[in-house]
Structure formats: structure tokens, C-alpha cells
Structure 1
């Protein structure tokens, strides 16, 4: 999928609550604010809406190569965010959803 398709699917799934989270070892409150309940789906939608095509990339999953991973780095209210996930079984899965720690930060 490309940028428009990825962004559209993410927004649709956030709006219909058709999403889940990949488990993380002990850092959920820092690495995935949506999973930790520190960010609402409505807030997440507003952040994702700010993503430009130049703030999107696709890559292979670092552990298994599939499914393809998408990364968004939108700027929302002056702060750059890091949003990482994938699509599996018609659902959006989030790995990371947090403000970037630094330029080019990865989680």
C-alpha cells in the first residue's frame, strides 16, 4: 500500500475502533500512548491527519519480514510524533505511538 491507502486505512480503523496493539516489554506507557490509554482514538486521529506524504515510509518487519511495516512522522501542534504499525487480518496494529524522542528516532 502507498501513503494515501495507509493513512486512509489507519484513520478508518481508528474511527471504528478496529485496531489493536503489538505487545511491548514493559515500555508501553512510553512507546505506545494509545495502548496505555494516555491518548484517545480521537486524539490519535487528529495526529495521523497531520501526516504528509514525506512523513511516511514502508519497510519490512525487523523480526519476520512480514507483514510490511508503515511509519508515520507527523508534526502535530509543533511536536513530531512517531507512529509505527502494520495491517493484519483487516485490522490496524500499532507498535509505537508517541512523540519522537529526537530527529529520526525509531521505536
Structure 2
């Protein structure tokens, strides 16, 4: 799977608010969208700034058929780290922080 195929789906989910958060109680501060520190609108802009070389994928650790994306875009002078995956039209965020 290429990032160019999933990027529009990720952006649509952010725009539609179809965002879920995987429970990561051991690292709760690493999802700024879940905590409210980053709005969905800002998250959309950050993901929009991601270029192909700033994205890599790997299989989900439990469900090997699910592609997990790791994005490392530069936006507004900050380096971001986004870890997410898609299930149908829903975006699942594992991490979203700088």
C-alpha cells in the first residue's frame, strides 16, 4: 500500500470527525488529538503537510492485515509524529504529538 492511496482517506476521516483513539494508558500524553491539545482541523493541516518520504508503514502488531502508518511531517516549524491506521472509513490514532 502506498501512502498516496491512504492519505486522502486519512484526511477525509479527519474532516468528517471519524476519528477513534486506541487506548494507550501507559502513554496518554502522546495523543494530542485525544487530549484536545490539537484540533481535528489542525491535525488535518499537519497530515496534509506529510510528503511520501515522511511516511512509512508496517503491519499492525496484532492484526497483520491492517496497515499502520507512521508520519513524520514538518509543520509550522515543528517536527510531528503521527501513528495511525484505517478501518473502513474510521481513522484510529495511536500517537499524535511533536
TM-score (norm 2): 0.91
Shift of 1:90: 2.5
Moved more, 5-14 or 56-65: 56-65
- Written as runs of structure 1 = structure 2, the 5 A alignment for 1:1-107 is 1-28=1-28, 30-99=29-98
Q: Write 1 or 2 for the structure with the bigger share of helix.
A: 2
Whole-Å separation in 2 of the counterparts to 1:54 and 1:74: 9
TM-score (norm 1): 0.84
Moved more, 81-90 or 9-18: 81-90
Q: Secondary structure of the equivalent of 2:70?
A: strand
Q: Which consecutive residues of structure 1, in runs of 5 or more, have no partner in the other structure? A: 100-107
Query: How many residue pairs align between the two structures?
Result: 98
Higher RCO structure, 1 or 2 (CA under 8 Å, sep 6+): 2
Moved more, 45-54 or 66-75: 66-75
Whole-Å separation in 2 of the counterparts to 1:45 and 1:64: 26
Q: Which consecutive residues of structure 2, in runs of 5 or more, have no partner in the other structure? A: none
Whole-Å separation in 1 of the counterparts to 2:27 and 2:35: 10
Shift of 1:7: 1.2
